[in-house]
Amino acid sequence: MTYALRSLNPLDLPQVLTLNNEAVPAVYALDADLLTTLVATATHSVVVTTVEDVHTVAGFVIGFAPSAEYASESYRWFEARSSDFLYVDRIVVAPNARSQGLGELLYASVFQAAREAHATEVVCEVNTFPPNPQLLAFHSRLGFTTVGEQTNTGDTGAAALLTALVS
């Protein structure tokens, strides 16, 4: 199959919401209103589809630059540390599309957006509780390193805070 990237548009929101909520606990659950707000305020929101079916979302990424109106604890941690980043809030690939390079394709779009914005790093979080060793290994292969750890409010989870330099 041949895949293509394009900007996330309002017609994609129902599919993106379903993919997001099927990926819990790797990402946090959303409702339709919160997803709409995230996409409206995001710096980078992209979907991946097949060339043959540009209306079926196989994966997506949503990211934010510094100074966004976004209350995520991890985003705020990175914002307090730097003003020169692109924060990946969530990246999800459909279960039936995994292991086909879509995560790398979505991250390539993130790094390209970071280069265009003259950001020096791409940052994100990966759950360590509940553990997600496959996702940590994936990020390590992409050049991410751990720069901090965070326990979420209410001790409902913990995450490694990761960064990768933009080249």
Q: Are 138 and 36 in contact (CB under 8 A)?
A: no
Count how many Cα atoms sit within 13 Å of the Cα of residue 155 in the half-sphere of its side chain: 0
Give phi and psi for 105, each to the nearest 5: -65, -45
pLDDT, tens digit, for every residue of 68-102? 999 899 999 999 999 999 999 999 999 999 999 99
The pTM of this model reads: 0.94
Angle value at C-alpha 51, between 49 and 57, nearest 5 degrees: 15
Write out the H or E segment, with its range, that includes residue 77. helix 73-81
pLDDT, tens digit, for every residue of 130-146? 888 999 999 999 999 99
